[in-house]
Amino acid sequence: MRLIIMLTLLPLFLSTTIFSAEVGLTDKEAKAFIENLWSTSHFAIKLGSMTVVAKNTDIAKNRISEEVYKALQAYEKVGIIKISVVKSSQDLLKGDWNDHLAYNLGGVRGQIVITKTDAGETLAKKGGLPQKDGWLVIRQGIFRVDEIIKNEARRKGIDNYRIIMATYTAEWTPELKRAQEMRGKQLSEKRKVIMLIKFDPFSSTWKDVAHDLANTDEDFTTNNVSRALGE
């Protein structure tokens, strides 16, 4: 009986030991993970008819906020898309009762149609990323990790996480960089990242959970990693 009990407890002991073991990740592996993750980094512009609203973008319903509209206008200025205004805010204010209702209660600020230009299509093909029907998919750039500053294990409940801090070099797609500069956002080639990744024991792979990005000489303006950890 004692032998049977010992044999029964042995697999349980072994499984518990394995389960509680820390999942390792070397700095070299962390560097490779980030570069692989960012190898397909892109921004995508939905094409077709869109409703501009005061706030709360809902791409599934073809509704974009005024802030997103401003970003699209910058992309138009660099030549990768064309925006045709079907109905402006002034048109709505001067329109019929339905237009007034849409403006005042629905927050509608206009109707536009977005199409890609020849230059935009060429840029998308140059980026080499798969295109999605009804979208224009542009590569953000090429990113190389320079140094892993921190690679710390963190455990939350039954899950294994790692917090990675790194510096990297960004070779931005020029059109993206110019569009951002038009909106007062400077994108330096020298950058830094704080990234939270989580180990998936079922696939034996690490998954990106949250990250904060900034130019190397600037403070982070987001706090996504801390929020994801509940700190």
Residue whose structure tokens are 């802030």 = 67
* Residue 51's pLDDT band (cuts 50, 70, 90): very high
Helix H or strand E segment including 192 = strand 190-200
Whether 35 has a pLDDT exceeding 70, the answer reads yes
Instruction: Give the distance, in angstroms, between the CA of residue 199 and the centroid of all CA atoms in the same chain.
Output: 20
| pLDDT, tens only, 134-186 | 999 999 999 999 999 999 999 999 999 999 999 999 999 999 999 999 999 99
CATH class of the 24-41+140-228 domain in this structure: alpha beta
Percent of the chain with pLDDT over 70: 90
CATH 3.10.450 positions along the chain are 24-41+140-228
* Residue 211's pLDDT band (cuts 50, 70, 90): very high
218 three-class SS: coil
| pLDDT, tens only, 67-82 | 999 999 999 999 999 9
Whether 8 has a pLDDT exceeding 50, the answer reads no
What pLDDT is stored for residue 88 in this prediction? Answer: 83
* Mean pLDDT in residue range 219-228: 96
Phi, psi of 8 (to 5 degrees): -70, -40
What pLDDT is stored for residue 153 in this prediction? Answer: 96
- Residue 133 is classified by DSSP as T
Cα–Cα distance measured from residue 30 to residue 91, given in angstroms and rounded to the nearest whole number? 53
Phi, psi of 21 (to 5 degrees): -70, 140
Average pLDDT, the chain: 89
Least confident of 16-30, 77-91, 143-157: 16-30
* Residue 22's pLDDT band (cuts 50, 70, 90): low
What pLDDT is stored for residue 92 in this prediction? Answer: 77
Burial of 92 (0-12, 13-18, 19+ CB in 10 A): buried
Provide the residue type at 126 as one letter.
K
* Mean pLDDT in residue range 187-194: 98
What pLDDT is stored for residue 183 in this prediction? Answer: 94
* Mean pLDDT in residue range 46-66: 94
What pLDDT is stored for residue 20 in this prediction? Answer: 43
Cα–Cα distance measured from residue 80 to residue 45, given in angstroms and rounded to the nearest whole number? 10
Cα–Cα distance measured from residue 70 to residue 45, given in angstroms and rounded to the nearest whole number? 13
Q: Give the tokens for residue 107.
A: 């927050």
**Per DSSP, which regions of 66-189 are E strands?**
81-87, 108-116, 135-139, 141-156, 159-172
How many alpha carbons lie under 13 Å from residue 172 in its C-beta half-sphere?
16
